[in-house]
Amino acid sequence: MADEKYRHIHLRGLGKASEDFRARGGGNKKRPPAISDRAAHAQALRRQLDESIADLENVLASQQESGVPAAKRGAAITVSARPSVPIEVGSKRATSPGLKLLSVRRASEDDDAPDAPEQATFFIAKKSLETLRKNLDEYAEWRDAPEAVGNDDIDDEEEDDKGRPRNFWLFESGATIRSSTLRDFWTDQIDRFPKKRTETEWEVWTLPGFENSFLKAIDKLGIKLLGKPTAFIETVVRNVSATPQQLEALVRSSASVVELRSASTFVSDFYDMEPERRAAVMENVASRILGPPADAPRVTLLDTGVNRSHDLLSSSLPQSRCFTVVESWGTNDRSGHGTRMAGVAQFGDLEGLTSSSLMALETALESVVVAAPTPTGEVPARDALMSAVALVEREPHRRVFCLAQTAQGEEENGRPTSTSAVLDQLAYGDGDNTRLFCAAVGNAPHSLEEPYQIAEYEDRNENYAIQAPAQAVNALSVGAVSLKDPSSSDVMVAPVGDLMPTSRTAKRWSRPHPIKPDLVMEGGNFLVERDGVFSRPSPAHMVVTTSHQAPISPLTISGETSTATAMAAGLAARLAARYPLYRMETIRGLLAHSAEWTPAMLAQAERDRDAGYSNQDVMDLLLGRYGWGVPDEERLFASAANALTLIVEDDMQPYERPLKDGKPQSIRLKEMKYFKLPWPEEVLRDLNQTPVEMRCTLSYFVEPDPHAAARNRASDRYPSHRLKFDVKRSGESDERAQLRNNQLAGGDMTESAGSGEGWVLPSRSKGTLVQDIWRGKAYQLADRDGISVVPVRGWWGDMPGQDRYERTINYSLIVSIRTPADAGGDLFAEVFPKIPAELFADAGTAST
């Protein structure tokens, strides 16, 4: 019975919205300790403020020459915090009235000086200077009991709370005020700041609305503009080529720069080795191919181009679907990387296709050249992404994007960059027409001259952090695993089922961060050299794929994370073909949901545990290396009698702005949703003490605000909103399950209920792909048939002027139950008849 396969149950309209909602808050942080002599402190700050703007008239004159409107002219100042005291900036933004927050550098973010005071950089218009001085005078006269200052709830972001003067907490936490330098605008790691006075490429982030004056300043200073501007919610990003001196003058004269970062372009990895037996493999596959149907989902390769005349690719990729973001580059593949990825996305490992039956392709291909064929023709990575999407979407079609490239030159600390933010923005789209991007996490560096050192593998590449743009929260980020068995004589770097030797990890990312990679797929293995120190790629353990040198040499090999990413994109497209009504949020969520950790991964986790790591650290290491593991294609594509998967697609309006006496009030969270799931209660009770597993996955996309990375509270204000799920506990009523997340739900909090134990994760991720696994006895799962989906505040709740609070957001909730194959009972047969016909999204067909 367990061998019988069913289509996953796909539902819409199941969730019930709460009539009223008030989130339960967490613990409060403390305000900074009180200043003992505020009058003296205010006097010092005022003196420093006047010194910092001593050159203001010259700055204003240069801004006037650039055409900056008089009301927007001013200067940048930097406030440094008291020792061991966080700088308090409240909810200020770059568009706030008065002090405009440009960036915050937290002490933990400065690798060169982790004990340095925190600092905030502001822009203040000339017209606001007197107001700031007045605030300082009022601050000097403020009297408050020390305990009242120390115990205020830091979540109260009103600047004038409890009658205090505006900017009170900034003054209370600040130690000094000075004129800002160019380094104060730098929000990448400080060691990446250009140290030479020569011309280099920069990313310049500016406020919108300064287009004419900014371009006039650029022209006057002789600075070169590179690529196209990229617009986000409150910032515009441009690449320029300039010296530090030119950039400093631009900051002063344009009055619009909010931050500076490293520039980037796309790069890929290459292999030049040829596999054995390529002729036999080629003949076997080419004779069996049936081209894809016209409506087949497409894998859109954002790469180096594809040799579409290849016998294995021509039926999937007509010339009309080959594009380039720069006309002079052409659409042909000069390096070979894109053609390799095309073969992997469409066929996987060609050497494994040993069947003699016809092969009906379910997916098609598209190609866009986004990587310059020569270094002199590079364009910013974010420009290439946006142009590529615009090119292919001239023809509406269902597609999965494959980005097996990394953005060279951007930070590797997990924080959003311009390229990852563009990827997030493109994935979100308008919130309804979302896009799925599969992104490679990148490879540890190696070459023939500098081979990969085996010592790096002992800590599973903890020194090589995941590269941009794979930190994008909306992406499906893919690492690599070694799955091919070695011969008895081979000495390989990676054990079977463990991390591919050069796959990067999230170990060096600062917490908290989303789980990345999301999953891993085959990327080959490396062979240990005779010296036992170095290693090299093993041709026998790489993936056989198509070559751009066809017909002379039609096949080659490929590996590492680019190959794993192409495999994931092909798998996602095949899932989209078999379930054409699934949203992209569901496709992404189901790939992670179906993934499993291999025995080698779990063995490594046990070694970490034995080494003294806490349970939280063990899980962080496991997920930061392998994500959720390797997708199980059997579970991905179908349910079974002992493996039931429920797909619930729903929506929610997370915010509202109520009226009081006809006047708009502050934006607040609006509602949560509760799902009473169709549940195999009888089968689970009959199984009683049998060990079972439940998986829950919540997948959704967000609109990014990348400038949040330079401001306060970057971790929770980058996304427009966040969601979390909470499962009803054993012995708990539906009312109490909702009350745990909603203070306004009906019910009695004194009612007893089972504990929340049994979950794999000690705490769940802040990303947009939230997943956890529960393991326990069948009878304990029998009444756990309710799930709350709860909103958490993001930047949409801070910006009433954007009207985002009126928007509805989509999400996918995936729940599966798995029992032992020989345990008996049919989960699917009990659940399917319980579902009302109107809830089925795909007409309720049961067979595969």
Residue 517 contacts residue 470 (beta carbons within 8 Å): yes
pLDDT reported for residue 357: 78
Q: What is the pLDDT of residue 552?
A: 82
- Flag residues of the chain having pLDDT under 50: 27, 110-111, 145-160, 273, 713-714, 746-755
Q: Give the model's pLDDT for residue 97.
A: 79
DSSP for residue 613: -
Per-residue confidence (pLDDT) for residue 197, from 0 to 100: 85
* 389 to 227, 356, 370, 533: CA distances (angstroms): 16, 38, 11, 44
Distance (Å, whole) CA 656 – CA 739: 21
Nearest to 444 by CA among 515, 370, 523, 497: 523
**pLDDT attached to residue 553:** 85
The reported pLDDT for the residue numbered 149 is 42
Q: In the chain, what are the domains?
A: 5-26+638-839 (no CATH), 31-180 (no CATH), 185-263 (3.30.70), 266-578+615-631 (3.40.50.200)
What are the CA-CA distances from residue 256 to residues 24, 57, 60, 372 (Å)?
A: 39, 17, 13, 31
Q: How far is CA 558 from CA 329, 344, 355, in A?
A: 24, 8, 22
pLDDT of residue 757: 83
pLDDT for residue 25: 61
Look up residue 165 and give its DSSP letter. Answer: P
pTM score of the predicted model: 0.90
> How many Cβ atoms are within 10 Å of 56's Cβ, its own excluded?
17
The CB density around residue 566, as the number of other CB atoms within 10 Å, is 32
pLDDT of residue 93: 77
> Which stretches does DSSP call E strand in 313-450?
322-324, 359-360, 364-369, 399-403, 406-408, 436-440
Structure tokens at 131: 């107001």
Q: Are strands 663-664 and 659-660 parallel, antiparallel or unpaired?
A: antiparallel
Rounded to the nearest angstrom, the gap between the alpha carbon of residue 139 and the centroid of all alpha carbons in its chain is: 41
Here the tokens at position 470 are 């794979």
Beta-bridge partners for 698: 770, 813
Distance CA 243, CA 194 (A): 9
How far apart CA 756 and CA 376 sit, in angstroms, is 57
Cα–Cα distances (Å) from 237 to 437, 468, 655, 667, 729, in that order, read 22, 16, 29, 28, 47
Burial status of residue 546 (CB atoms within 10 A of its CB: 0-12, 13-18, 19 or more): buried
Q: What is the DSSP letter of 840?
A: B
Predicted confidence at residue 4, as pLDDT, reads 86
DSSP string, 426-457: HHHTTSSS--EEEEE--B----SSSPEETHHH
What sign for the dihedral angle of Cα 595, 601, 607, 608?
negative
Give the C-alpha separation, 94 to 258, whole Å.
7
- Output the six-digit token pair for 774: 């529960």
**Nearest-angstrom CA–CA distance, 208 and 289:** 52
On the question of a cis peptide bond just before residue 469, with omega within 30 degrees of 0, the verdict is yes
414 contacts: CB under 8 Å, gap ≥ 6 = 465, 466, 471, 506, 509, 510, 513, 516
Does the CA dihedral 177-183-186-189 come out positive or negative?
Answer: negative
Phi, psi of 527 (to 5 degrees): -100, 135
What is the DSSP annotation of 224-251?
Answer: EEEEEEEE-SS-EEEEEEE-HHHHHHHH
Quickly list DSSP for 547-601: -TTTTTS-EEEE-HHHHHHHHHHHHHHHHHHH-TT--HHHHHHHHHHTEE--HHH
CA distance 772 to 779: 20
